[in-house]
Amino acid sequence: MKKQERKTYRGEKNDKERTMGKLLASIGKVLSEKGYTGLTVSNIAKEANVDRKLIALYFGSLDNLVETYIKGKDYWLTPGLNVGGDLMDIPSKGTKEFLESLLLYQMDSLMKSPEMREVILWQISEKSEIMSHVFQEREKMSSLFFASADKEIGDKNIDLRAISSVLVAAIYYLVLHAERTDSTVCEIDISKPEGMNRIKEAIKQIISSVYD
């Protein structure tokens, strides 16, 4: 007698990978439409069109889900680590080119991503355990970069950490300013291509002057 095959239910709850992807994607949509204050279980489950219980089932908690999304989008964390524990692009580019690429990528991605602009506003508006975890991961990543940069710069009297901090803060401000106001900064409008290119060239000039 032929053994009867057991039927499997291939509904939403059993499709874990697909459901997790939908939940992560819904974070970005909720951030864009409702801001970081709209990141509730109800809003996310509704946007993903899944049972709200699946958030806890697949991610453990709402905070873990949101943190997973942000870490996947964060400009410092996305380059990733290779098996040796080094930043992947540094050996081929050198720290000067790596830092330049990273900062320009940060500016482009923030300009194009309303959800990540909301994340920046969240970071500077209130204390958050989620953001604390993201910052800790970012600091681990940046420490690897600065360790490589220290070797490359040698004994020059250059505080690359402070200079990088100023550039990161400037990018945050300029991008948020461009979104929230109709005015220019120092007669430059970075919402227009020519204004954006001027700021990018300035970043390159600053980094070049530091290394050279």
- Per-residue model confidence as pLDDT tens for the chain (212 residues): 445 544 444 554 468 889 999 999 999 999 999 999 999 999 999 999 999 999 999 999 999 999 999 888 876 665 544 433 445 556 566 889 888 988 998 899 899 888 889 988 888 888 888 888 888 888 888 888 898 899 888 888 889 999 999 999 999 999 999 888 888 999 999 989 999 999 999 999 999 999 88
User: CA 211, CA 152: separation in Å to the nearest integer?
Assistant: 9
Angle, helices 160-180 vs 114-125, to 10°: value is 120
All structural domains of the chain with their residue ranges: 12-64, 74-211
Q: How far is CA 193 from CA 174, 188, 197, in A?
A: 14, 11, 6
Task: Give the CATH fold of the 12-64 domain.
Answer: Arc Repressor Mutant, subunit A (1.10.10)
What is the reported pTM?
A: 0.78
User: CA 138, CA 194: separation in Å to the nearest integer?
Assistant: 31
Torsion on CA atoms 200, 196, 36, 139, rounded to nearest 10:
0
The residue among 132, 202, 195, 192 whose CA lies nearest residue 166 is: 202
Where do we find the tokens 């089932």?
Answer: 57
Q: 3-class DSSP state for residue 85?
A: coil
